[in-house]
Amino acid sequence: MKSLALLGTLVLMTAATNCWAYGSSSSSTKSCDKPRFSDFNPAEKSEVPAQSAFSFSASGVSDPNSIKVTVKNQPAEVAITDKGGTYQVSGNLPEGLTGTYARIAISADGRNRCKGTGGWLIKITD
């Protein structure tokens, strides 16, 4: 009789272990949806004069308060406009950048705190 009770306990423990192995389906609601960036202007590897305007679009999952732009590691001031599902971001190149290549680097947090990065390279003429 003791061996039958032991066998029953062993079967129940094995079944419970298998159930826990699959986890819950609620983890899919916490997936990371990173902000994406597109519509870069001026185009990648373009030649532009100093202090030129630039713009791009940020996906709707972006937190507009977290959008940061640097040009050759110098912060750039930007204006952000809600376009109903996306954000239009525009600004000007910082002063003092002439005759050099520069990366316009973008970072932003998504609504679920996933960080997105992007950017493009331009050539700033004299």
Split at pLDDT 50, 70, 90, the class of 11 is: low
Q: Is residue 90 part of a domain?
A: yes
| 47/100 Cα distance (integer angstroms) | 10
Number of domains in the chain: 1
CATH number, residue 102: 2.60.40.1220
| 57/45 Cα distance (integer angstroms) | 18
Q: Is residue 20 part of a domain?
A: no
pLDDT tens, residue by residue, 96-118: 999 999 999 999 999 888 999 99
Report yes or no on whether pTM surpasses 0.85: no
Q: Is residue 86 part of a domain?
A: yes
Q: Is residue 14 part of a domain?
A: no
Q: Is residue 28 part of a domain?
A: no
Q: Is residue 79 part of a domain?
A: yes
Choose between 5 and 81: higher pLDDT: 81
Split at pLDDT 50, 70, 90, the class of 15 is: low
Burial call 15-28: b when 16+ CB within 10 Å, e when fewer: eeeeeeeeeeeeee
Domain extent, residue 71, equals 34-124
Asked if residue 21 has pLDDT above 80, the reply is no
pLDDT tens, residue by residue, 35-59: 999 999 999 999 999 999 999 999 9
Q: Is residue 3 part of a domain?
A: no
The per-residue pLDDT for 5 is: 72
| 20/3 Cα distance (integer angstroms) | 26
Terminal Cα-to-Cα distance of the chain (whole angstroms): 93
Q: Is residue 64 part of a domain?
A: yes
